[in-house]
């Protein structure tokens, strides 16, 4: 998968869990990519391997075969400081913001740690902390409080602020709205779209919800049992529905308005 050029791509990616007789292949030669400044929606049922792709990209799960590239550079072979530097360019926001935030740290400390992992001083980085909180529509005073003092939607905004504080080029949003009610979900989705445009971010948006994916994405990839069965511009995929699995997924969700496209 070399053309067209992608900001972030996985090529023939295979991930295996376990060893010996207990080994289970979770991803079977997956290839997909997202162009700079765009959002790729990755959709599939629970257990299809969506989150495994996310964790493989950031190096949590080892890759059995294939590669992950950022601006054409193979990340799977990097080590040490070079790998750490590249990983800061790609930030993962997970489904459970409470689990990703240290409950013993104030929000300010958590964001300061992202700004400067060596000297995570909330007072030293107070202006940066305030700026990132305000970027996600939270008051700067939130820096003095702890994660448990916020609602689920607010915690998700904090997790986004923490990811942004690293000043990444790519955000991977893994089911980040699935636990939110409809009104809060819409607020977070609108925020992500605004941030993508204002900060020139590239985004991999992972969800089981086809309606959400269609609303926020420029392109979409459909994953079934560890294999990509559709990949292309969102309009093309949703209009042609080549694979019966995609048709079944689409039939299971309510009708929704198509995402507006630039003229």
Give the per-residue pLDDT at 209. Answer: 84
* Whole-number Cα distances in Å, 154 to 142, 186, 203, 238: 10, 13, 20, 32
For residues 204 and 168, give the distance between their C-alpha atoms in angstroms, rounded to a whole number: 13
CA nearest neighbour of 114 among 95, 50, 135: 135
**Residue 156, domain member (yes or no):** yes
- Structure tokens given for 1: 């998968």
Give the per-residue pLDDT at 250. Answer: 66
Give the per-residue pLDDT at 258. Answer: 42
**Residue 58, domain member (yes or no):** no
**Residue 144, domain member (yes or no):** yes
**Residue 35, domain member (yes or no):** no
**Residue 98, domain member (yes or no):** yes
**Residue 138, domain member (yes or no):** yes
Phi and psi torsions of 9, nearest 5°: -145, 150
Residues in the chain with pLDDT < 50? Answer: 1-2, 255-263
Number of domains, the chain: 1
**Residue 110, domain member (yes or no):** yes
pTM as predicted = 0.88
User: Which residues constitute the domain of residue 146?
Assistant: 92-167
Give the per-residue pLDDT at 145. Answer: 96
Give the per-residue pLDDT at 8. Answer: 97
For residues 221 and 232, give the distance between their C-alpha atoms in angstroms, rounded to a whole number: 7
Give the per-residue pLDDT at 260. Answer: 42
For residues 128 and 136, give the distance between their C-alpha atoms in angstroms, rounded to a whole number: 13
**Residue 137, domain member (yes or no):** yes
For residues 224 and 128, give the distance between their C-alpha atoms in angstroms, rounded to a whole number: 41
């Amino acid at each position: 998968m070399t053309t067209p050029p992608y900001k972030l791509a996985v090529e023939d990616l295979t991930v295996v869990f376990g060893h010996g007789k207990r080994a289970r292949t979770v991803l079977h030669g997956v290839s997909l990519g997202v162009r700079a400044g765009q959002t790729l929606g990755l959709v599939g049922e629970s257990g299809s391997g969506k989150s495994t792709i996310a964790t493989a990209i950031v190096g949590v799960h080892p890759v059995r075969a294939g590669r992950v590239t950022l601006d054409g550079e193979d990340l799977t072979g990097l080590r040490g400081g070079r790998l750490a530097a590249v990983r800061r360019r790609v930030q993962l926001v997970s489904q459970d913001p409470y689990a990703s935030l240290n409950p013993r740290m104030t929000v300010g400390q958590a964001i300061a740690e992202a700004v400067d992992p060596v000297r995570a001083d909330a007072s030293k980085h107070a202006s940066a902390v305030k700026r990132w909180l305000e970027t996600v529509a939270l008051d700067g005073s939130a820096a003095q409080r702890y994660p448990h003092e916020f609602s689920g939607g607010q915690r998700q905004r904090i997790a986004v602020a923490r990811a942004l504080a690293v000043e990444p080029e790519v955000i991977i949003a893994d089911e980040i709205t699935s636990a939110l009610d409809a009104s809060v979900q819409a607020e977070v989705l609108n925020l992500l779209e605004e941030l993508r445009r204002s900060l020139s971010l590239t985004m991999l948006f992972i969800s089981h919800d086809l309606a959400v994916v269609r609303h926020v994405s420029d392109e979409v990839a459909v994953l079934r049992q560890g294999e990509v069965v559709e990949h292309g511009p969102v309009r093309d995929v949703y209009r042609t529905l080549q694979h019966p699995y995609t048709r079944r997924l689409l039939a299971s969700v309510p009708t929704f308005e198509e995402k507006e496209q630039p003229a």
